[in-house]
Structure 1
Amino acid sequence: MVRLNYLDNLKVALTFLVIFHHAGQAYGDGGEWGYTPSNPAEVMPWIWHFFSTNAAFFMGLYFFISGYFIPGSYDRQGFGTFVRKKILRLGVPLLLMGGLLTSATGKVEIAHMWFVESLLIFSFFYAVVRKRCPAISKDCDSRPTLIGLFIAALVMGIGSYFIRQESPQDHWISLSIWTFEPAHYLQYVMMFVLGILAYRFDWLDKMTKTTGVVALLIGGALAIGNYVRQDGEWNDFVWQWFGIYESLMCVFISFGLLWLFREKVNMGNKALSWLSAQSYGAYIVHLPLMICIQNMFDGVWMGAFGKFMFVGVVSTVLSFAFTWLLRLLPGVKRVL
């Protein structure tokens, strides 16, 4: 297989973004978090813009990239090997980290591992479907177009709009061991499926410069529109239709970034390969490491923004380094 360096590099960038997103949650209204600063001055009221824009696309893009690699993996391995490897790669970290977080909190808790759990469910579902149905033929001239992206975003947005009438954003549901946020779940399912189709129809190679550039510009404009909204008519409009607005951000930012990384960040070297190899493990281990760092430096005044950046940088470095050390242990590379 040809290594797609730009997808590896994009996954690394998304991992950095996830870690910094979580680093900011203690210093703004980012939902329930396992640490609260003892100094009430360590707060950044503006950071909700950062949270809102990130949440619009970054986990959806994670699911897209994961979905992209699923069909080829199944084609090479077959049902049995595919399922066993997904249990090892996804199920084992889920059980270990879930057990650690549950022991630490005294209640059943998987926190950020909801992504791994959902990806495991999606992978099993794909395997069951493929066992009964043949693979989609690649004999199709389909390619990403701006109209196609808009239609996908509109379907996602209308569905999300109605889901949010019953289950607003940041409302999480736990059904036995399945934890999910209904407001974003349609986005995740659709992006995973789009990733599968992108592999089958070779969409990433077929995406034209015009489609990529315009998608990036539209996504960037929507992100700016989300950052600048405060109180007023624009904020009221975006908030009323946020399920649709966010879905447009998701699709256009995601495909814009896929094109940008394909054209401008499609390189490989030892440093980038090292980062890519550790990125999955860094996602898994970063949260407990981060909370330890936040508690250790709780009494050190750096200003709210300074503390946010400090925690983000240190957590990122330690997460990647700790993953590298773990992967030196026999057998760990098969999991992480």
Structure 2
Amino acid sequence: MLFSTKDTGPVHDAVKQHWVDTHLPSWARPYARLARWERPIGWWLLLWPCWWSAALAAIAAGHPWPNPWHLLLFLIGAVAMRGAGCTYNDLVDENIDRQVERTRSRPIPAGQISRKQAKVFLVVQALVGFFVLIQFNSFAIGLGIASLAVVAIYPFMKRVTDWPQLFLGLAFSWGALMGWAAEFGSLAWPAVFLYLGGICWTIGYDTIYAHQDKEDDALVGVRSTARLFGARTKPALVALYLGATALFALAAAFADAGPAAFVGIAAGAAHLLWQVLVLDIDDPDQCLKLFRSNTRYGWIVFAGLAADALIASA
């Protein structure tokens, strides 16, 4: 049966005593853990390029703020599609997850939920995402459907390349194109620069995240930029974060943004520099903390863009 699950306790790397464990009925908990509802950082990271792009489009269009309806749709879509992506990833990675300490307690390898149940849940979440997508114009709908190709291949990249984080960036930064397309029904250089910058940012933060698993990854043959960079991780992060900052600044410039947007980008760059300076790649707990701090980075950049739109229209 679809809703017949076995709750064998929280996932090892999940937030403890979260509302998923304390308020949801026992049959629903494995589904919530599969979608990572207790870890909002994932959908925040998927959402930020969407909201940045919507704010950048507002600046270019002369609006005082990003379209609120678009922001709400992107929020719902990010939660749904992040959950669908995690479900798909766990289906693909079941055998690998069983061999990694941090992931072997996830719902599928732990036997909390069957593969059939996970596939049905995947379809339900994807349908929510599709319903959100069709609220936009036809160009944005086609662009959103095109993203599925990148999403589909991402889980396999850790088996064939040292750069799976690049493919995560291609998928997670797609919203940088969507926000602009939702406003204008086309693409332009500001959205492209924002997308490229988002890729650099994603490679950086997910490299930090991947350092949690580098020992287990080496044993099971999983590849990552964390293993590739190794002791050179900090210089690599400096290059990636500088690239992201420069590309975000180009996006703002091509959208004719004012000073507030650049102040936000600069303040965000200071936050990224802090990440690099304090990073200890051999401290998994700190790596996770720094990874999660990118939610604050997203707010900083968005606040600058949104403030700029408001100031320019005054």
Shorter-chain TM range is under 0.3
What is the TM-score normalised by the length of structure 2?
Answer: 0.27
